[in-house]
Structure 1
Amino acid sequence: MEKILKIEITTREEKLKELQNSLDKIGICGMTIINVVGYGNQKGKTEVYRGNALQVNMIPKIRIEIISSQSQAQEIISIAKKILNTGKVGDGKIVLIPIENIIRIRTAEEGLDAI
C-alpha cells in the first residue's frame, strides 16, 4: 500500500487562490484552510492605531492541509514552493506528516480510496 502524507503549508493568505488554481490543475481539489496566528523570524510588525504605534507580535497566516499519496506529494510541494516563494521572511513552512490510515465515514472506504 502506498504511503499517505498530510501536507501542512503555513503561509500568507494573499497567494491562496493562485495555489488553489494550480493544485486544481493537477487534480488536487480537496484541502482544509485554517486561519492561524503566530510568529517566527518576522518577530511581529508595527501597526498604527488611532495615531499610536503598536507592536503586533502575532502575524495572521493560513494553514493549508492536504492529504495525498507520497507519489503526488512531491508535485504538490514543488508547486507550493514555486507559488509561495517571494524571497521575503514570512513566506512560510511546509511540514510533511505520515498518515497511518484514512477512513471515509460515509462509505467506510480506507486508505487512498478515502481521499
Structure 2
Amino acid sequence: MSMKLITAIIKPFKLEDVREALAESGITGLTVTEVKGFGRQKGHTELYRGAEYVVDFLPKVKIEVVVAEDAVETSLEAIAKAARTGKIGDGKIFVTSVEQVIRIRTGESGESAV
C-alpha cells in the first residue's frame, strides 16, 4: 500500500485543535514547524512606534504527517474541519506521494516505519 505526506499550512492558534482532531482520527505522529508566508492574504499593515509598515509574511504553522493511503481522506477532513475559521488566511493542505520511509532506530521500512 502506498503512503502519502499531508502538509497543512494553518493559523498558529489552530494547531492544538488540529493535533487533537488528528489524534481522534488515529494519527499519532506529526511534525510541526513555525513558518511564515502569504497567499491571497498578502500580508497586512501594522503600526510600530508611530510608523506604518507592511508585514509581508504572516506567521503560520506547517504540520506534516505521513499516512497510509486509506487514511488520507479521514486525515484531510479532520485537518480542514479543525483548522477552518471561515476567514481569509485559513491555509492550505497539500498531499504528495511518499516513496519510502525508514525508522532509523530499528531499520523498519514502509508503513511499519510510520
Unpaired runs of 5+ in structure 2? none
Measured after TM superposition, the shift of residue 28 of structure 1 is 1.1
Whole-Å Cα distance in 2 between the matches of residues 24 and 58 of structure 1?
A: 30
Measured after TM superposition, the shift of residue 26 of structure 1 is 2.2
The percent identity for this pair of structures is: 37
Q: How big is the alpha-carbon RMSD for the aligned residues of Structure 1 and Structure 2?
A: 0.9
1:57 aligns with 2:88: no
Whole-Å Cα distance in 2 between the matches of residues 40 and 92 of structure 1?
A: 8
Q: Give the corresponding residue for 1:92.
A: 91
Measured after TM superposition, the shift of residue 58 of structure 1 is 0.8
Unpaired runs of 5+ in structure 1? none
- How high is the TM-score relative to the length of structure 1? 0.95
Whole-Å Cα distance in 2 between the matches of residues 95 and 61 of structure 1?
A: 15
Measured after TM superposition, the shift of residue 106 of structure 1 is 1.0
2:99 partner letter: E
Counting matched residue pairs gives 114
Q: Is the 8 A contact 2:41 2:89 kept in 1?
A: yes
Whole-Å Cα distance in 2 between the matches of residues 52 and 20 of structure 1?
A: 38
Q: Give the corresponding residue for 1:7.
A: 6
Whole-Å Cα distance in 1 between the matches of residues 106 and 93 of structure 2?
A: 31
- How high is the TM-score relative to the length of structure 2? 0.95
SS at match of 1:74: helix
Measured after TM superposition, the shift of residue 38 of structure 1 is 1.1
